[in-house]
Structure 1
Amino acid sequence: MDRLQQAIQKARVERASRTLETVRLTEEQRIVPEDTENIWTALPEIKLDSKVVIRNRLLSYQGGHEAAPYDMLRTKMLQQIRTNGWRRVALTSPYSGCGKSTTTANLAFSLGRQADLRVIVIDFDLRRMGLAEILGQSGTHSMADVIQGKVPFHDHAIRYGENLIFGLNYSLTYNPSEVLQSRRAIETLEQIEAVYHPDIVLFDTPPLMASDDTHGLLKNMDCALLLAEAEKTSMNHIDLAERQLAELTNVMGIVLNKCRYASGAFGYEYDAY
């Protein structure tokens, strides 16, 4: 355990050093190659069925008053991201069923409506095809195949609009923990960031208490957002999950999902603005 704690502390120090360096940079100092836009537009564009959008509650897909809760979450996230110089944001939950993948998809579309942001969304919940099913997409490979070098990211990724990219799973991975904790996983992320220069990378990661899949990955994240299910996730589970997260990365916050609230509680004056 001593060695594990030392390794975690070392990773924290390295991450903090990178964060401080990023904060020092102004927007004018960030050099983005001129051909980045062409690299993004070269990716195939995603096509979403309107029935899928309604059935899977992609409320922020087109914006409007129904997207207000996700837009509020987006704004709070961006404030912390810009203040701390973060880029990699993991979304996780104590266990499955908390709406983590649905929240990831909605946050992605909400962020995508900010024209000045480049956002990449990667599904690292390799035991499932959550985001692909929510978006109604089909294919052959998974992000594990990208990590293992079986398929390049540019042949696997799909694009929505001009500033949002998805890396999805179309098949299950039977050794996800080993894949996610490998050095090649980190090298793959670094290569993607070097080529596409995203402002934010969102990760749909496995539930914390279901396996060790996420634990080896989180130390390479800048921060994490914890999703809990209203009326089902116990305070003990939330507390335990938060403490586990804090040992591995910065905790951005906790989102209580699937809440019941009165009609108009969010955005009731939306049309007045």
Structure 2
Amino acid sequence: MERIKLAIERAKADGGLDAGIPAPSQQDARWVPPPVANKIATAPNRPVSSPAQYRHTAVVDLDPAHLERNRVIAHQKTHLASWAFDVLRTQVLQKMDENGWRTIAVTSPSLESGKTLVSINLALSIAQQSQRTALLVDFDLRRPSVARVLGLDQPVSLNEVLNGDVDVSEAMVSPGIARLVVLPTNRAMSRASELLSSPKVSNLIGELRQRYDDRIVVFDLPPVLVADDVMAVLPHVDCVLMVVGSGVSSKAEVEEAMNRVARANLVGVVLNKDTAPAQQDYY
């Protein structure tokens, strides 16, 4: 306990905790976050270690044209499709607030369902709310793509964090969008399932969740049917969002994916790549 206090005091003396993310703000009346300090010190079955020393987060301005080409549009309120992610954000946050959830995993039954695009746009939409901050984490260790879709080209990423080479604060990136921070993965990693089920990852998830009361952490996970990676992570996150690509996954694949996440808190299912025209009577 004394080591934790000393580490926090040292971090404050060095310039504050993670200055790239705003200080916590007033939450919805239904939101009652747990005492952070007590939870760090007394969490069961979790070794006590010094918390990450958060410092200034690197800021990288993204290319608007690159984002447009990759359909990253939730931050553009004039874009005709941004409303869909705002509706998704509101539904997801209402469900999470009702249950005190702050970490959400996004997955899909099979490849090419668009779960990474949904993860990115959901995190962007959450960050548009002034009382929230969003952290997007690329946990698809087999086929990481968040950095590529966003156009991030940083030398340090989650790879180095999981290898024990750097602190997690050194791998975080602010993409020049207020209240959003990204923890990318640059390269595929071997033994992904074993890594995701390790105490190192469970401790990392706890650290990311507890650091700020207003933070929503969005984890982009691999497809459920590719391997057991998703099942390894789900016990450590609060809820899961399933993205089903229209015409991509068969009925049998969707049913099998739902069976595999049956023990998790399913916050909802997104039908992606639907070609039916949107009905917006007022706009």
Smaller-chain TM-score range? 0.7 to 0.9
More helix by share: 1
Match of 1:219, SS? helix
Match of 2:143, SS? coil
Report the counterpart of residue 124 of structure 2 in structure 1: 109
The one-letter code of the counterpart of 1:55 is R
Cα pair 2:74 2:121 within 8 Å, conserved: yes
The one-letter code of the counterpart of 2:233 is L
Report the counterpart of residue 75 of structure 2 in structure 1: 61
Structure 1, gaps ≥5 residues long = 1-24, 34-38
Report the counterpart of residue 50 of structure 2 in structure 1: none
Aligned-partner Cα distance in 2 for 1:76–1:170: 31
* Structure-to-structure mapping, 1:40-51, within 5 angstroms: 42-51=56-65
Report the counterpart of residue 187 of structure 1 in structure 2: 203
User: Cα offset for 1:232?
Assistant: 2.4
Aligned-partner Cα distance in 1 for 2:99–2:32: 18
The one-letter code of the counterpart of 2:196 is L
Report the counterpart of residue 242 of structure 1 in structure 2: 258
Output the aligned Cα RMSD.
Answer: 2.3
1:124 aligns with 2:139: yes
Report the counterpart of residue 142 of structure 1 in structure 2: 157
Query: How many residue pairs align between the two structures?
Result: 238
Aligned-partner Cα distance in 1 for 2:33–2:224: 37
Cα pair 1:68 1:266 within 8 Å, conserved: no
Q: 2:232 aligns with which of 208, 213, 216?
A: 216
**Residues 119 and 40 (structure 1 numbering): CA distance in 2 closer, same or farther, change over 3 Å?**
farther
1:176 aligns with 2:192: yes
Q: Report the TM-score when normalising by structure 1.
A: 0.80
Report the counterpart of residue 6 of structure 2 in structure 1: none
Cα pair 1:108 1:119 within 8 Å, conserved: yes
Aligned-partner Cα distance in 2 for 1:151–1:118: 24
Report the counterpart of residue 227 of structure 1 in structure 2: 243
**Residues 139 and 30 (structure 1 numbering): CA distance in 2 closer, same or farther, change over 3 Å?**
same
Aligned-partner Cα distance in 2 for 1:195–1:84: 19
The one-letter code of the counterpart of 1:72 is V
**Residues 128 and 100 (structure 1 numbering): CA distance in 2 closer, same or farther, change over 3 Å?**
same
User: Cα offset for 1:225?
Assistant: 0.6
The percent identity for this pair of structures is: 29
Q: 1:249-270: per-residue Cα shift (whole Å, max 9, x none)?
A: 11111111000022xx254523
Match of 2:217, SS? strand
User: Cα offset for 1:198?
Assistant: 4.6
